[in-house]
Structure 1
Amino acid sequence: MPVYDLPRAELESYLPDIGEPADFDAFWAKTLAETRAFDLNLTVTPVDTGLRLVDVFDVEFAGFGGHPIKAWLTRPAAAVAGAGPLPAVVEYNGYGGGRGLPHEHLGWASAGYVSLYMDTRGQGSQWGSGGDTPDPVGSGPAVPGFLTRGLLDPADHFYRRVFTDAVRAVEAVRAVDGVDPTRVAVTGGSQGGGITLAVAGLVPGLLAAMPDVPFGSHFRRAVDVADTTPYTEITQYLSVHRGHADAAFRTLSYLDGVSFARRASAPALFSVALMDPICPPSTVYAAYNHYGALGGEPAKQLEVYPFNEHEGGAGHQFARQLHWLAELAGLAGLAGGGATPGHLEGNAR
């Protein structure tokens, strides 16, 4: 589609006031404290996949409400690894997808990292190879999809649970034997990019954040501009529930990627596509331009794809990430990563 959002010069200086709630930090501190009252219950189980150059593990840990969350963990095989703890990358998937199959997530392990690919609760049936994590929490009336589940109260919203799961995923990988807990990065595209921003704003001490064409920022503008799902789920809901707009946007203000981005302290590599009809460029720039404002102004970069839609940079962006993250992780110039030989175990906390 043609460029439809703000001119690029305006995008580069776009710093909207999104109406952040005064108790944003208190809301999330309470949410995470309630979740951490549950044991992490981390299990890391070896899986025979037929892959010989990477080791694969089926991971489960306690997320929001103590609910079990699944993930795949892959890492360079002990037989081909060197010595020393490895940096790790936690990856979050796009809207409606699940963790799929482990051989679909080999890029980061091939580059010398421990890779944890988190399943998204309640998703995994719209595309890809499926998911394995139910969401045992219900909601009130909602449009098909996930954006309007719990739309009238931030405590009930679907993404409160998902973002909390994602924070616990970082805690889980940091508890895995052979991982350097000081070198953990987070990444994802679209919905995964939005989850990445949430984690970057909630978890201190991350090595890096790499949100690609992130979803879930500047909700008010996204609903006004986007004419395709998922944002139109909100439009459809409000077209039926005509008196719920104030409550809906109040709930979304606790989930907005711009607010999380403001609090982030890790170096960041973003991507944006200027013809993206799903995540309008202005919503991505809103998060990028605000990124780190309350987190010490960390280094940040934005890769711009002027002629792409929601696919963004795709494989080209991953190639960019590989080199950028290697510099931060201390892997640049190495022929391969290092890992401690032997059995991988989880240290539950």
Structure 2
Amino acid sequence: MTIKKFLLKVTLISFILLAISYTALFISAGRAPDIHSLDQNPEFEVQSAYDLPDFWNLTEIQKIPLNITIEDTRYVWDETHQKNFTVQNLYYTSQYWINNTPLRIDAALVFPDNSSKQLGLVPAIVVMHGIGGNLLQLFNQLYFLAANNYTAIAISFPGHGNSSGPPPVQEWIIPNLAGYNGTITPDLLNQTHFYLITRAAVRAVDVLLNQSVVDPTRIAMTGGSYGGLTTMFASNVYWQKVRSAIPVIASGNLDISFSTPWSLTNLIVNPNEYDLTQPPVSDLIQYFDPIYYVNTTNNPATLFIAGTNDDFFPVETFNNTFYATNNATKAMSMTPAGHHGFLMDPMEGTVLYWLNHTLFNGPAPPIIDVVRDVESTIFGSKLKITANVTCDVPISKVFLATHWEIMGATWKKTEMTQSSGVWTLEKQHLPFNAEITYFVIVELENGEYITFFSSYVWRDEITTWLEIPFFILIGVGLAMPIYLLMRRDVRKMKSRIEATNQRRYLYLNGIQLAGMGTTEIFIFVSLFLPLVVALPESNSFGISLAVVLNEFIDLFPFFAYVVFTCLITGFILTMSKPVLGGLINLIVPIMLVMIGLSMLPMLGAYEDNTLVSGLSGPLVSVGIGLILWFVMCGVQIGFGIFKRKYQKRL
């Protein structure tokens, strides 16, 4: 075999491998679940919702005496708002449960400053925490609401904080259904944590109604995560009193959330043990899925506050829940790249605006009418968005938030152009076919607070005929450096190696190409294997680098560039200089380990979390993906050292 023919085969093989690998790399993010547009029906059975009024007996719930016990009353000066507040710590009974034991709920009431004696009756709001939390985490919100003349009550859910009752572990989310025959019994209800927290929230409203300063016609409810789910339950059950609901980072369609591989709901209910789509679990879950509650005619005015990258609830579940809400007074405030409680845009202004509208008949949120059009162009298609916005207050800006559904892409927010009372923006196609997720954000002029509302979320595919030429160009562009490096190596060694040993050298290069190509394939595969495994002794919830690049890249936007640069550079150099290529490939796993170690102290912040403290065994362990990546880099470096020694012998 001549050197020329050998190099030709090397180039051909490299081109094929690179073209296939990097085509897959760009499109391997996987198509996200379908997002329903407003002219489509979400995938749920509406008729199930009609059973809910019979499921909750409000009269029976209110027969239980509250037995309010005030532990202490104190006066607090809040530096942030420069106001005095009255704070009461108290307990009340939400129900009697197992063995007729009273379920005592720990609560805190914060009253606004009424030193002027001019407030009169004030509106009131129930504020609820997330799973594993407690009311102590909510005082900043309570003070903010009190500073705006609301009486606010925060509660610790059953099994949280100082409240009695069971913790929200799996056996209380999905109770023992061995004897379930299709009938919901009181005993079964008392073993279901969703039921216990909903009754606690309903009775919190009654505690507010017992306060002489509270206007009984202006009651609202809000909560984050687990508290957001409870908001949708309890506000619907007590619709006669709760006029406004604000679920934050919480949605319905729990079957989608629990079945989504990367959703952190898998840490609460192990999908390997329960199939939420099949009876008897599905029979029970339909009574505790918020999408059925918001679909009833009892549902109060509802504002959904969410993030596109929520770690528990996929974005399509917010869409479906918003669509299902059976009340014309509803709105959504979606943060692009927002996660489950972090990287969220400020929501104080939006909350106050909504409460003023729903409790005091203030200005309504903007009505956002979005016209979507995928138009054909010479090289493919483009997306044209037109937003017609009707609003009672001046509009500050209108944005289009967009996200290409490709690995490593981040959310972008672009200001739309106004002309003749409408806002427009066009998005051109990429060099390859890709789906784009997008929605419109309307920012209002509302004094010191940022106030914004958003449209429904859509997803469309933008195509181009440039895709095949683009990937061919990428393949050729990546194959050429390999060709040039190997040609240089062969020419250099030809002048140094005796003719009798040149064939051995060519065999060595062939082994290098096949072996290093195989290690690169394994490194590519490790992208989709778990880097870490959460709760390794129970739920074994794995998180891969592909999931990080798809769902969490907005936390570390620079990391996508590092990963792709290292993958490309490492691939090219490994074919010629395995030691250098292996060292470059090591950069990514080493960075992952460093990021992981830097985040370990954050786990300490959750030591008082009821859910976390109740777990046994390690919270995380190293996944096979990280191990495989390190091993393949070691093989590359080891082969490079062997090659150098072997060449010296030649």
* CA pair 147-318 structure 1, distance change in 2 beyond 3 A: farther
Residue 53 of structure 2 corresponds to residue 25 of structure 1 = yes
Higher helix share: 2
Residue 324 of structure 2 corresponds to residue 290 of structure 1 = yes
* CA pair 102-318 structure 1, distance change in 2 beyond 3 A: closer
SS of residue in 2 equivalent to 1:106: helix
CA-based RMSD: 3.2
Residue 143 of structure 2 corresponds to residue 112 of structure 1 = no
Residue 301 of structure 2 corresponds to residue 273 of structure 1 = no
Instruction: Quote the Cα distance in structure 2 between the aligned partners of 1:267 and 1:277.
Output: 26
Which structure is larger by alpha-carbon Rg, 1 or 2? 2
- Correspondent of 2:122 among 82, 86, 111: 86
Q: CA offset at residue 283 of structure 1?
A: 1.8
Q: Which amino acid aligns with 1:256?
A: D
Q: Which residue of 1 aligns with 2:289?
A: 256
Per-residue CA deviation, residues 211-237 of structure 1 (Å, 9 max, x unaligned), is 11215x212212222524334432x2x
CA contact (8 A) 1:88 1:184 kept: yes
Q: CA offset at residue 76 of structure 1?
A: 1.2
* CA pair 182-151 structure 1, distance change in 2 beyond 3 A: farther
Instruction: Quote the Cα distance in structure 1 between the aligned partners of 2:337 and 2:244.
Output: 27
Q: CA offset at residue 44 of structure 1?
A: 4.2
Aligned length: 313
Per-residue CA deviation, residues 125-169 of structure 1 (Å, 9 max, x unaligned), is xxxxxx11020x599xx648x533556665221111111111111
Per-residue CA deviation, residues 323-346 of structure 1 (Å, 9 max, x unaligned), is 22123333969xxxxxxxxxxxxx
CA contact (8 A) 1:72 1:102 kept: no
Q: CA offset at residue 275 of structure 1?
A: 1.5
The runs of 4+ residues in structure 1 deviating greater than 6 Å are 241-244
SS of residue in 2 equivalent to 1:48: strand
* CA pair 75-94 structure 1, distance change in 2 beyond 3 A: same
Instruction: Quote the Cα distance in structure 2 between the aligned partners of 1:220 and 1:320.
Output: 29
* Percent of pairs with identical residues: 19
- Correspondent of 1:147 among 151, 173, 178: 173
Normalising by structure 1, we get a TM-score of: 0.78
Q: Which residue of 1 aligns with 2:87?
A: 56
Q: CA offset at residue 96 of structure 1?
A: 0.9
CA contact (8 A) 1:46 1:57 kept: yes
Between 1:185-194 and 1:225-234, the stretch displaced more is: 225-234
Q: Which residue of 2 aligns with 1:191?
A: 226
SS of residue in 2 equivalent to 1:100: helix
Normalising by structure 2, we get a TM-score of: 0.44
SS of residue in 2 equivalent to 1:53: strand
Between 1:112-121 and 1:322-331, the stretch displaced more is: 322-331
Q: Which amino acid aligns with 1:17?
A: F
* CA pair 170-151 structure 1, distance change in 2 beyond 3 A: farther
Q: Which amino acid aligns with 2:104?
A: P
User: Any residues of structure 2 matched to 1:119-134 within 5 Å, and which?
Assistant: 119-123=156-160, 131-134=161-164
- Correspondent of 1:15 among 15, 38, 42: 42
CA contact (8 A) 1:274 1:305 kept: yes
Q: CA offset at residue 85 of structure 1?
A: 0.7
* CA pair 331-56 structure 1, distance change in 2 beyond 3 A: farther
SS of residue in 2 equivalent to 1:252: helix
Instruction: Quote the Cα distance in structure 1 between the aligned partners of 2:121 and 2:221.
Output: 18
Q: CA offset at residue 10 of structure 1?
A: 3.6
Q: Which amino acid aligns with 2:53?
A: D
Q: Which amino acid aligns with 2:248?
A: D
SS of residue in 1 equivalent to 2:272: helix
CA contact (8 A) 1:3 1:275 kept: no
Between 1:274-283 and 1:174-183, the stretch displaced more is: 274-283
Residue 335 of structure 2 corresponds to residue 305 of structure 1 = yes
Q: CA offset at residue 261 of structure 1?
A: 0.9
* CA pair 247-102 structure 1, distance change in 2 beyond 3 A: closer
Instruction: Quote the Cα distance in structure 1 between the aligned partners of 2:276 and 2:224.
Output: 33
User: Any residues of structure 2 matched to 1:161-200 within 5 Å, and which?
Assistant: 161-200=196-235
CA contact (8 A) 2:35 2:319 kept: no
CA contact (8 A) 2:244 2:301 kept: yes
Residue 113 of structure 2 corresponds to residue 77 of structure 1 = yes
Instruction: Quote the Cα distance in structure 1 between the aligned partners of 2:329 and 2:49.
Output: 26
SS of residue in 1 equivalent to 2:231: helix
Instruction: Quote the Cα distance in structure 2 between the aligned partners of 1:121 and 1:88.
Output: 22
Q: CA offset at residue 277 of structure 1?
A: 2.5
Q: Which amino acid aligns with 1:115?
A: A
Q: CA offset at residue 253 of structure 1?
A: 1.1
* CA pair 36-4 structure 1, distance change in 2 beyond 3 A: farther
* CA pair 77-241 structure 1, distance change in 2 beyond 3 A: closer
Unaligned runs of 5+ in 1: 124-130, 334-349
Unaligned runs of 5+ in 2: 1-28, 78-82, 97-101, 181-187, 364-650
Q: Which residue of 2 aligns with 1:213?
A: 249
Instruction: Quote the Cα distance in structure 2 between the aligned partners of 1:331 and 1:3.
Output: 45
Instruction: Quote the Cα distance in structure 1 between the aligned partners of 2:301 and 2:273.
Output: 42
Q: CA offset at residue 69 of structure 1?
A: 1.0
Q: CA offset at residue 286 of structure 1?
A: 2.1
Higher strand share: 2
* CA pair 321-151 structure 1, distance change in 2 beyond 3 A: farther
